[in-house]
Copies of this chain bind each other. A is one copy, B any other.
Amino acid sequence: MSLRYISARISQQIDEELMSSIGAFSIDQLMELAGLACAQTLATVYPKRTYPRVLVCCGPGNQGVAWFAMLTTVRLTEVVEGGDGLVAARHLGMFGYTPTVYMPKPGSKDIYQRLAKQCQNMDIPIIPPSNDVEDLKKALASSDVILDAIFGFSFKPPMRAPFDTVLPLLSDSRLPIVSVDIPSGWDVEKGNELGVGLNPNVLLSLTAPKEGSKDFTGRHFLGGRFVPKSLDAKYGLNLPPYPGFEQIVELDSIPKPNTDI
């Protein structure tokens, strides 16, 4: 039985169950483990001696709300996207990297504020919000690798400013890119059909890989070591075993597809 690549709908259902009164996880817990997995993936592929300066790009703070609003069991006020990036930036700082956070459209929610404050307490610079990309250009010129936490699986075109300008700039920088969950600009099910998405070197899928990532050809990791066996079985995920006490597992050797029904 091979690893299942899941649809947007299934992905939403799993997230919903994890955070419902049944799964009992708080967003703080899941985001902490997801962000740690992001940082570990980057650190695994891009050692800090050679790639010390990480530009952590975070998406708009209200991205995730639309579909979450459909879920009655989830705490609506706590939902964020791009928060993974802030948690990852903090852990990368702890690992000895020199991260910089680029977050042009920060969310107003409490959790965003707290995660950003945690970065500031570690002297991690956060580029002030702006529609102007001059600051981004400067940051790219002094970075060694990019962590792409801009769009997650709830991205729908068209791409709004400043991200329509940001994504080509990231690509043109020719810096290596590590994307979180789904490369920014890709459709969660159809992949990079429109051709407006990033082409990352590394992808970290969270919980389970998404259908849209089936054609991804770089190094592919899985994170989110918090899915109970019962949930794995219910959705037929066939999640691979994680090594030792790691929070990530590389999918290279695992046979692909078995598409979503």
**A contacts, CB < 8 Å to B:** 22-26, 28-29, 32-33, 36, 39-40, 43-44, 90-91, 94-96, 113-115, 117-118, 121-123, 225-226, 228-231, 241-242, 244-245
CA distance A163 to B113 in the complex (A): 41
Of listed A90, A121, A226, residue having the most chain B CB within 10 A? A121
Residues of chain B within 8 A (CB-CB) of A29 are: 28-29, 32
Q: How far is the CB of A188 from chain B (nearest CB, A)?
A: 26
Report whether B121 and A22 are in contact in the complex, using a CB–CB cutoff of 8 Å.
Answer: yes
Select one of B33, B122, B245 contacting A228, CB under 8 A.
B122
Identical subunits present? 2
Known contacts: A32-B33, A94-B226, A229-B123. The answer to whether A118 contacts B25 by CB under 8 A is: yes
Known contacts: A43-B244, A245-B91. The answer to whether A118 contacts B24 by CB under 8 A is: yes
Residues of chain B within 8 A (CB-CB) of A95 are: 244-245
Report whether B94 and A242 are in contact in the complex, using a CB–CB cutoff of 8 Å.
Answer: yes
Residues of chain B within 8 A (CB-CB) of A43 are: 244-245
A-B contacts, 5 of them at CB < 8 A, read: A25-B114, A26-B28, A28-B32, A122-B228, A123-B230
Q: How far is the CB of A159 from chain B (nearest CB, A)?
A: 31
CA distance A254 to B5 in the complex (A): 47
